[in-house]
């Protein structure tokens, strides 16, 4: 599934591979390309944070997306949810409790299936 780029990072590309495992949890493998380092944004930020937001719920911090010197990033995680939005924001704090920075990539997962 392809992710949509935000206005601050129009050259960025993102993809999410969604797989439901035998225990019925959903594995998310997020890969990005051409994503500028957060310090290169205006205003500069420190990190990229990946969020999961279920319908009618607050976003949950899934962790920090590491971007290497080739502007590629990745994060793999597991969730029990089947319908949600995944988005990446630029933040000052990797432990942020709520998104505050600009969305750089996002995608809607509307029904993960086996």
Domain that holds residue 25: 2-109
- For residue 29, being part of any structural domain is answered with yes
CA distance linking residue 102 with residue 111, whole number of Å: 26
**Residue 111's pLDDT is what?**
72
The radius of gyration of the chain's CA atoms, rounded to the nearest angstrom, is 13
In a domain, 40, yes or no: yes
d(CA 55, CA 63): 20
Structural element, H or E, at residue 51: strand 47-53
Structural domains of the chain, count: 1
In whole angstroms, give the CA distance from residue 54 to residue 72: 26
Q: What is the mean pLDDT of the chain?
A: 93
* pLDDT reported for residue 22: 81
Q: Which pLDDT tens digit goes with each residue over 10-64?
A: 999 999 999 998 889 999 999 999 999 999 998 899 999 999 999 999 999 999 9
In a domain, 114, yes or no: no
Question: For residue 56, is it within any domain?
Answer: yes
19 within domain boundaries: yes
**CATH code where residue 94 lies:** 2.60.40
Residue 44 CA to residue 34 CA, distance in Å, equals: 17
**21 domain residue, yes or no:** yes
Global pTM reads: 0.93
């Amino acid at each position: 599934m392809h992710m949509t780029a935000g206005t601050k990072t129009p050259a960025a590309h993102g993809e999410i591979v969604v797989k439901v495992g035998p225990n019925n949890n959903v594995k998310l493998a997020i890969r990005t390309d051409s994503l500028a380092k957060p310090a290169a944004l205006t205003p500069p930020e420190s990190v990229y944070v990946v969020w999961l937001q279920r319908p009618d719920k607050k976003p949950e911090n899934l962790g920090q997306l590491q971007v290497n010197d080739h502007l590629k990033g990745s994060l793999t995680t597991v969730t029990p949810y089947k319908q949600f939005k995944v988005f990446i924001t630029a933040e000052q704090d990797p432990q942020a409790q709520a998104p505050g920075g600009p969305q750089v990539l996002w995608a809607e997962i509307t029904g993960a299936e086996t």
